[in-house]
Amino acid sequence: MSHSLPQATVTSDVEEICLAYGNRPDALIEILYDIQNKLGHVPESTLPVIAEALNLSRAEVYGVVTFYHDFHLNPQGQYVIKICRAEACQSAGGFEVIAALEKALKIKLGETTKDGKITLEAVYCLGLCPMGPAALIDGKPKAAIKPDKVKALVKELA
């Protein structure tokens, strides 16, 4: 992970990935995926390096990284819980499930537990509308989540 690598190493890795795509601005998405796959996230410190290599502004690169929910500026937990916040899941009790998750994990949406194990993220529709509230837990769909079952669910990951 990049947080343990020296900045010079991270910079050279990013420059190398950009160069592999010919420093083409139209390859930004692919470059960001490669950086995230290599480093575990797209560190904010790499944005100027990417921008310079692709002849883009830092704001343009930042805009793409923050627009797409699959890119992360900070390291993710070992496990990721993506909880649906779309209307169908909310009307089925999603707010209560989110509150129970935040309480059990002692974090808010968008944060990672202090031990780095679990990240809690919001997503907007998983296609499980009739079975809400729904989540992706470490990439696996989980439907009809009840607030009183959240502690057991979290315990399985820990």
Res 95: pLDDT: 95
pLDDT tens profile 23-32? 999 999 999 9
Res 1: pLDDT: 41
Q: Within this chain, do residues 84 and 128 fall inside the same structural domain, yes or no?
A: yes
d(CA 102, CA 107): 5
Res 6: pLDDT: 66
Number of H helices, E strands in the chain: 7, 5
Instruction: For residue 73, tell me if it sits in a domain.
Output: no
Q: Choose one of 67, 98, 113: the last residue of a domain.
A: 67
Domain extent at residue 141:
79-157
Chain position carrying tokens 């993710």: 76
Res 5: pLDDT: 61
Q: How far is CA 9 from the centre of its chain?
A: 23
d(CA 96, CA 51): 41
d(CA 120, CA 125): 15
Res 70: pLDDT: 85
CB 119 within 8 A of CB 80: yes
Q: Within this chain, do residues 17 and 61 fall inside the same structural domain, yes or no?
A: yes
d(CA 32, CA 53): 13
List the chain residues with pLDDT less than 70.
Answer: 1-6
Whether omega before 147 lies within 30 degrees of 0, making that bond cis, reads no
Q: Within this chain, do residues 42 and 94 fall inside the same structural domain, yes or no?
A: no
Q: Within this chain, do residues 35 and 100 fall inside the same structural domain, yes or no?
A: no
Res 20: pLDDT: 97
Domain count, the chain: 2
Res 111: pLDDT: 92
Q: 153 — phi, psi (to 5°)?
A: -60, -45
Res 23: pLDDT: 96
Res 157: pLDDT: 84
